[in-house]
Amino acid sequence: MLMSNFFDKSDLVRKDAENIVSDTLKNCDDGELYLEDSKSESIVLDDNKIKSSNYSSDLGFGFRAVSEEVVAYSYSNEISKESLKNSAENLQSTLKSIKGTYKSEIPKSNKKFYNDINPIEQKTLNSKLEVLNKVNDYLRKKDRAVKQVTANFLGEHKSIEIIRSGGEAITDIRPLIRFNVSVMLEKNGRKETGVYGIGGRQSYDDYLKNDNWKSVCEEAFRIASVNLESKPAPAGEMKVVLGPGWPAILIHEAIGHGLEGDFNRKKTSAFHNLMGQKVASEGVTIVDDGTIDNRRGSLTIDDEGTPTERTVLIENGILKNFMQDRLNARLMNTRSTGSGRRENYRHVVLPRMRNTMMLSGNQTQDEMIKSVDKGIFAVSFGGGQVDITSGKFVFNCTEAYEIVNGKIGSPIKGATLIGDGPSILKEVSMVGNDMKMDPGIGTCGKAGQGVPVGVAQPSILIDKMTVGGTKL
Amino acid sequence: MIKDHKFLDAKASFCLDIAKKLGATDASVTIGHGVSETVNFRNKKLDESNRSDDLAFSIDTYIGKKKSSISSSNLLDDNLKNLIEKCFETTKNTPEDEFNSLPDKNLLAKDIKNLNLFDETHVKNEKKINYLKELEDTASEDKKIINTESSFTENKSNYLLANSDGFCGSFKKSSFSASCVTVAKDEKSMERDYEYSSKRFFSEIKDPKVLGKLASHQTIRKLGPDKIGSEKLSIIFDKRIAKNILNAFAGAISSSAIARGTSFLKDKINKQVFSDGINIVDKPDIIKGLGSRNFDAEGVKSETLNLVEQGILKNYLIDTYNGKKLNLKSNGRAGGTTNLYLENGKVNFEKLLKSNSKSIYVTETIGHGSNLVTGDYSVGATGFLVEDGEFKYPVSEITIAGNFKDMFKNIFLANDLDFEYSTNSPTMMIEGMTVAGK
């Protein structure tokens, strides 16, 4: 059985839980009981051996009561009558004066963006171990410069149920997997690593068919080989061409976080007073979409039960929408965009991104590179980070090249790029026709909570960014 | 109420018994319980209250040199039994690894010192609210402050580790933390900064007025930043950033990075890695210390380690598994460092500021720009331009870059070390880094 029955082995019967929820939330603006049962596994090959094989099972509830701007939250990993009552008392003691009037129903939808599967059980341990060992042999036989190989499977099966005041129950089953390969090469005393991974909300074998693990190995190996030849990166302001796909984490950091409802309600985002204004060059359209089949950032419903949607954030350069959960939507007089997410039952809901995408334009990557006299071409990134308030954001190149006189030159060492969120999109002078999704590996962190996300973009040319290399 | 030693011990024995009956040759169990209560304020009003109650269990089962692990938050006997059976089945199907084993018996912690890590004080929500009111009143005194967010958290936990070689150790810990984030605005810019205080004992956390004042001061002084040109400069790292450089060093000397060959400090033992006067110590037995412990994540006793003496690398951070790979004994660092610090330098803070005619004082870095394989370092930074020892104006949207191998050899320290965190450094200057700006 894939959907968990949370009341199965508990002294808490569903009717009692519904009554406690209804009583506690009676006069509140909002709130819910969120129940979660998650199973996860991590199998790691490292240094020629299966280094670890871990399985984890986590069960618990989070009980939330919202009144005006105040959120009271209590969670426990013991599903029992006593612990739910304790939580209810804790919520009531916090919300002393309750004046709730919010009556926004959760919209209904029958659409599903992934199947009810348990990816962990769909592939045997032995066949997972076999793939990991093949990866190791394949890479080590490929080249003597290969000195270290790490490969791992991460699988998760999460079953959630949301019980609202009045007894309404909403459920979802969320599979998620990742397969990663990291390889270190050593040549002439230099060491460099290359990392590549794939994943999403299907079974392992959907991603690994036709020996697809080989192409993951090849890509990790290729990145490490390029970096072995890399020269120190330049330092200073210059033109930057970003490749399609994963480099869209620039959009995620520079723009995405600043368009989350909470920062704008609190007026701490550099974008809070720019709604309806031009924040990007013409031709730049950015959406946040939770509805793409089987993508890592997709969700059938968000963690408040609202069906997800495709939210247009920026259309042809104009700021159109923020991403909202129910709390921030209510306080900003708008509706939830199905963006309310939490890492797990231990955490409160926050407005978060799902799959954040810049849509294709008309130009080609070739045209962009030809137009640059001095600059860099960034193909892949490690992580990024943003300071919401000042708008400054960074990300780290893991594969990048110099551009000299319209031609791609030598690879350059990993460098941090820094820019200013509200102005960076005005510096976009060309938008490519080659939009691509990332391979399904992103995790976004906010307020100590990590959630799976996706990004996509075409190649773009940014006229001015600061490159943090060492070569002056 | 935090579950007591007796409860944790009974659960652990129950688990070890099951593993043994199933046929596991060895097993190691942890049981933990934590209760945490947080109150958040925003603009002088209650914003959020949070209570968490967390149970945690994990077990490693061994069949000879085969090993696998399982963890769960559900401590009902039925569930534990099912999971341990599943774990044992997985172990059977996992390949052998010659380095898998419990720690050497003679390295296990025997005398458990009282490190005074638990304060029984319970701070009621009302008292937390009063603290935050006072804090935010002070933080928002200046009109330039347009937003304040603050938080008070009380944490209590109890943790027990037991293994089939008879080790059984537990410790109770508490922590009280207060933090304040403020946003300041003028015509040209909006900036954010913060201050926080975290202690094992409630009576020792910073006065709310002091905390609020610091947060507000640190934010307002960042207003109206400029970008500067690209050049080689000496960088002075504020203590709250300097500790991150020390943590990167700790990552590079972890026995796992050394054994895998993925550290730029591989084969550097007994070699000069830092400049002459630099000493780095990891001291687990500081009374009330934020990183203090009697034993590591495997039960091995943790004793004071001199990691770097006069610039020379003396020790790695070693756990049992990677120690065996390197033919070294565990030094009780499974799970990382304890109270890690750089010893004081010879000059005071003012002198350090004056040691170059021009430098950048960095108060915040962003990005994950440390590559521990190559030692390359490149991060975004904000801070202040310092000329002849004086703070001139705030700078932002710059990056600072270098390679740890060179950076470590160009470190100069002030003599202002204190123990605010579990990793601590005096104010740190590194000469010859590349600043990229305009």
Summarised one tens digit per residue, pLDDT across range B396-413 is 999 999 999 999 999 999
Taking CA–CA distances from A64, the nearest residue in chain B reads: B50
Q: Quick check: A395 and A382 in contact, CB under 8 A?
A: yes
What percent of chain B stands above pLDDT 70?
Answer: 100
- Considering only CA atoms, which of A465, A464, A455, A457 is closest in space to residue A284? A457
For the segment B35-61, what is each residue's pLDDT rounded down to a tens digit? 999 999 999 999 999 999 899 999 999
Side-chain half-sphere of A344: how many Cα atoms within 13 Å? 19
pLDDT at A97: 67
Tell me if B434 and A470 make a contact (CB, 8 A cut-off).
yes
Tell me if A184 and B261 make a contact (CB, 8 A cut-off).
yes
Q: pTM here? A: 0.91
For the segment B136-171, what is each residue's pLDDT rounded down to a tens digit? 999 999 999 999 999 999 999 999 999 999 999 999
Mutate to test the interface with B, among A10, A192, A416, A424 (most CBs of B within 10 A): A416
Q: Which of residues 49-78 of A touch B (CB under 8 A)?
A: 49-60, 69-78
Q: What's the mean pLDDT in B173-185?
A: 97
pLDDT at B1: 78
Q: Tell me, yes or no, if B186 comes closer than 8 A to chain A by beta carbon.
A: no
For the segment B189-241, what is each residue's pLDDT rounded down to a tens digit? 999 999 999 999 999 999 999 999 999 999 999 999 999 999 999 999 999 99
- Residues paired with residue B179 on neighbouring β-strands, in sequence order: B151, B196
Residues of chain A in contact with residue B49, where contact means CB-CB under 8 angstroms, are: 70-73, 90, 94
pLDDT at A383: 82
Question: Which of helix, strand or coil describes residue B165?
Answer: coil
Residues of chain A in contact with residue B87, where contact means CB-CB under 8 angstroms, are: 55
* Assigned CATH for A125-160+169-228: 3.30.2290.10
Work out the minimum CA distance from A279 to partner chain B, whole angstroms.
Answer: 17
pLDDT at B121 over 80: yes
Tell me if A389 and B53 make a contact (CB, 8 A cut-off).
no
Q: Number of Cβ pairs closer than 8 Å across A and B?
A: 245
B88 Cβ contact list (under 8 Å, min separation 6)? B19, B22, B23, B24, B61, B63
**What's the N-to-C CA distance of chain A in angstroms?**
62
Tell me if B378 and A469 make a contact (CB, 8 A cut-off).
yes
Domain boundaries, chain A: 125-160+169-228, 235-468
Q: Which of residues 298-337 of A touch B (CB under 8 A)?
A: none
Tell me if B93 and A126 make a contact (CB, 8 A cut-off).
yes
pLDDT at A10: 84
Work out the minimum CA distance from B111 to partner chain A, whole angstroms.
Answer: 31
Taking CA–CA distances from B403, the nearest residue in chain A reads: A470
Q: What's the mean pLDDT in B355-370?
A: 95
Mutate to test the interface with B, among A392, A395, A423 (most CBs of B within 10 A): A392
Q: Tell me, yes or no, if A115 comes closer than 8 A to chain B by beta carbon.
A: no
What percent of chain B stands above pLDDT 90?
Answer: 95
Q: Which of residues 88-147 of B touch A (CB under 8 A)?
A: 90, 93-95, 97, 125, 146-147
Q: Tell me, yes or no, if B261 comes closer than 8 A to chain A by beta carbon.
A: yes
In terms of C-beta density within 10 A (0-12 exposed, 13-18 middle, 19 or more buried), how is residue A273 classed? exposed
pLDDT at A103: 79
Q: Which of residues 272-311 of B touch A (CB under 8 A)?
A: none
Tell me if B49 and A94 make a contact (CB, 8 A cut-off).
yes
Tell me if B399 and A73 make a contact (CB, 8 A cut-off).
no
Mutate to test the interface with A, among B265, B378, B382 (most CBs of A within 10 A): B378
Tell me if A396 and B147 make a contact (CB, 8 A cut-off).
no
pLDDT at A1: 56
Q: Tell me, yes or no, if A381 comes closer than 8 A to chain B by beta carbon.
A: no
Taking CA–CA distances from A69, the nearest residue in chain B reads: B47
Low-confidence ranges of chain A (pLDDT < 70): 1, 97-98
What ipTM, to 2 d.p.? 0.87
d(CA A340, CA A223): 36
Mutate to test the interface with A, among B48, B100, B363 (most CBs of A within 10 A): B48
pLDDT at A52: 87
* Domains delineated in chain B: 5-220 (3.30.2290.10), 231-436 (no CATH)
Q: Tell me, yes or no, if A197 comes closer than 8 A to chain B by beta carbon.
A: no
pLDDT at B301: 97
Q: Tell me, yes or no, if B382 comes closer than 8 A to chain A by beta carbon.
A: yes
Identity of the residue numbered A271: F
Q: What's the mean pLDDT in B19-30?
A: 97
Residues of chain A in contact with residue B402, where contact means CB-CB under 8 angstroms, are: 470
List the single residue in A87, A392, A415 with the smallest CB-CB distance to B401. A415
Q: What's the mean pLDDT in B113-124?
A: 95
For the segment B416-435, what is each residue's pLDDT rounded down to a tens digit? 999 999 999 999 999 999 99
